[in-house]
Structure 1
Amino acid sequence: MHYAAITITILTGLGIIWVGLQYLLAPVKTATGFGLPAWPTESPSIAWLNIKGVRDVVSGLVVLIPLALGQYEVLGYLLLAASLTAFGDALTILRYRGKKAVAYGVHGTTAVLVLLAGVLFLTA
């Protein structure tokens, strides 16, 4: 179980860093896959997408650093908290009548996996 938690953490940590970099490099193109029905497409509104990118990169680092340091209990609590981001994203997409498949399939699945990894770290 410990290896499953480590694998989930590495994949989600690197995955959100990748997503964050995409928001910095190609913000409008990346945003269309998030699941919301509309995104800003012109400057200065695109700056909000860059801000999201920076936060996504930091979110990945926040879980990978304690993993690298072997701080599994702290990591477990951080993952429980971090799962709220993905749950919140899914609920926001559903609230604003975005793509249900993305809300459940991407954000919901991510939330459950991150939550599971957090529980595994805290119970192992």
Structure 2
Amino acid sequence: MKTTKEINQWGVRSVSFWMTMLIALGIIFVGAKFLISPNLGATDFGIPFSNTNDIAFGRIKGIRDIFSGLVLLPLLILKMRRAAAWVFTAAIIIPATDCLIVFATNGPLDIQHLLIHGLTAVYMMITSFLLFRN
């Protein structure tokens, strides 16, 4: 017979664990890209730099993205599902706002970048639901 702790154990066997890990590692990768190649990072984001002075802002975004991913890793490693759920849910504001910024800057015809940011926000909403539901 399994104990309550064993039944409620969350970790590598959970889909929500890996969905969260994917976002954490993905945003670390995006941040590293902004640090290593800020121009490429900005272009991939959907708003290329207009001059070389903007490169510093790309690096600022890069380190913040890396932090956003790193903050989730200890919660995943320590199997702190509820804490991960709250942090992850709060982080939905980032891709949602990114989508709005791309829309305000490029307009509705930049479907590719709007979808990247918008679908990331939707993916994170689904993951948050699963994190709280487990």
1:60 equivalent to 2:69? Answer: yes
For 1:115, give the aligned amino acid.
Answer: M
Give the Cα separation in 1 of the matches to 2:74 and 2:117: 23
Give the Cα separation in 1 of the matches to 2:114 and 2:85: 24
TM-score by length of 2: 0.83
Q: How many residues align?
A: 120
Give the Cα separation in 2 of the matches to 1:31 and 1:70: 34
C-alpha RMSD of matched pairs (Å): 1.4
SS of aligned partner of 1:39:
coil
TM-score by length of 1: 0.89
Shift of 1:116: 1.4
- Larger relative CO (CA 8 A, sep 6+): 1 or 2? 1
Give the Cα separation in 2 of the matches to 1:64 and 1:107: 22
Give the Cα separation in 2 of the matches to 1:83 and 1:110: 9
Query: 1:84 is matched with which residue: 85, 93, 112?
Result: 93
For 1:9, give the aligned amino acid.
Answer: T
Give the Cα separation in 2 of the matches to 1:108 and 1:4: 21
Give structure 1 stretches of 5+ with no counterpart: none
Give structure 2 stretches of 5+ with no counterpart: 1-12
Q: Which residue in 1 is equivalent to 2:128?
A: 118
For 2:41, give the aligned amino acid.
Answer: T
The alignment-based identity, stated in percent, is 32
1:1-124 equivalences under 5 Å are 3-36=14-47, 38-43=48-53, 45-97=54-106, 99-104=110-115, 106-124=116-134
